[in-house]
Structure 1
Amino acid sequence: MQNKRVMLKLSGEALAKPEGGYNEDKVRDIAKQLKPSLAKGTDIGIVIGGGNYWRGRSSEAIDRTKADQIGMLATVMNCIYVSEIFRSEGIDTAIFSAFPCGDMAKVFSKDEVNERFAQGKVVFFGGGTGHPYFSTDTGIVLRAVEMDVDIILLAKSIDGVYTADPKLDPDAKKYDKLTIKEVIDRRLAVVDLTASVMCLENKMPLAVFDLNEENSIKNALDGKINGTIVTV
């Protein structure tokens, strides 16, 4: 089933090369996968993590609030880069931030985002929630709820949700479908707990799939999830 409005989450690490810098070919491939759904009129919002730039919680020398602020700025930088690659592929874009960034991004406004969606633009949401102590998981659920999306698509480096970390447990089993309450009760690492509770309270479904699988984003946008669907 074709979704009318979706939020896509990309990890910063997934867009980076192992030796540093961006994997431009991968970003271009993502842009090409979006085009068929954009042509059908699907509204696409994107949130990008900042892990390719910053993992502040690993340092005890930096105040948590300051570390989170650096991470929020990293997400804005990722939005600017990916937005520009998308534009070079012929996709119109707009960037909104949770806090003022000069002329680099507009401050988030639901009305203005709806205007950009009506114009057929892919909208990037940077800066998380704009506050420390909240992850980009919480940021994407917040924006998804505010923008009345049909589903959140989580493109990860793993092909779904497992009973345990498959890298550590060879007996880990993948879920094809489960509920958000099961995610919370079993402490499964889909999104963080705050984001999971927000999904539960606002009845926001999720889908988890492998970013690196061929055409995985295109298929997910068409409602073909070769991963795990988290229902509400």
Structure 2
Amino acid sequence: MTYQRILLKLSGEALMGQQQYGIDAERLMQYANEIKAVAANGVQVAVVIGGGNIFRGVQAAAFGLDRVQGDYMGMLATVINSMALQSALEKIDVSTRLLSGLTIQQVCEPYIRRRAVRHLEKGRVVIFGAGIGSPYFTTDSAASLRAIEIEADVVLKGTRVDGIYTADPEKDPNAVKFNEISFDEVIEKNLNVMDMTAFTLCKENNLPIIVFDMNTEGNLKRLLGGEPLGTLVNRSGQNER
């Protein structure tokens, strides 16, 4: 495998499948099987999953709710998705641990960096729930921060699009895909990869990001096996491996 330890960032919206909200069981099991396939090849896998299929903190203002309260509601939504992914993985005999940025001791372990690393070293899939436990930070930021803390080799952002384009390929048929691009070029071209806090964390810590299509079966294993899938973002804008 190309990378030894990865942080896989999944969107909550992707869990909806073709539904309007909630969790699609078929999509959930697809993700679980994708993760199992790479973990079986010795890759240490950590996962951060969003909560947009249930609730997003930025929706709070639309409902007239306090933003901080809304963000905490969003964190709880990520815990629900994390529990669902944990159950799906354990159903197919993958050992997991769910660590939370909020204290919910009945269902999650509290996040402790050394404990998370030890779980990874023992071959367990580690799922980070509740973001970083503070409002005003997205799950992208949680993914970047946790990846840096556990010394992951790469952040893999699984989306429904097969990489980074000059424009939204679902809206602009003339959009051109980047195979490799530097952090500076992403900022210069104002491309939407992650929120700026998350992206800056990766840039300052020289942590590469790969954006790829997670919804195509087998893509995660092919990517880690060395196939040039998605778009690589790093300091030089070139594949250095």
Amino acid at match of 1:16: M
Percentage identity across paired residues of the two chains: 38
Report deviation, 1:119: 1.9
| Matched residue SS, 2:211 | strand
Query: Which residue, 142, 155, 159 being the options, matches 1:152?
Result: 155
* Count of residues paired in the alignment: 232
Map residues 7-26 of structure 1 onto 2, 5 A cutoff. 7-17=7-17, 18-26=19-27
Q: Deviations over 1:11-52 (max 9, x none)?
A: 111111414332222222222222332223211000000000
Mean Cα deviation higher: 87-96 or 181-190: 181-190
Distance in 2 between residues matched to 1:107 and 1:217, nearest whole Å:
28
Q: Report the RMSD for the aligned CA atoms in angstroms.
A: 1.4
| Matched residue SS, 1:51 | coil
TM-score normalised per structure 1 = 0.95
1:139 paired to 2:129: no
Q: Deviations over 1:48-93 (max 9, x none)?
A: 0000001332333011111111111111111001100110011010
Report deviation, 1:167: 2.5
Contiguous gaps of at least 5 residues in structure 1: none
Per the alignment, residue 199 of structure 1 pairs with 202
Map residues 14-53 of structure 1 onto 2, 5 A cutoff. 14-17=14-17, 18-53=19-54
| Matched residue SS, 1:124 | strand
Distance in 2 between residues matched to 1:35 and 1:128, nearest whole Å:
23
Aligned 8 A contact 1:162 1:172 in 2: yes
Distance in 2 between residues matched to 1:140 and 1:213, nearest whole Å:
22
Per the alignment, residue 4 of structure 1 pairs with 4
Map residues 1-232 of structure 1 onto 2, 5 A cutoff. 1-17=1-17, 18-58=19-59, 59-60=61-62, 61-232=64-235
Aligned 8 A contact 1:184 1:196 in 2: no
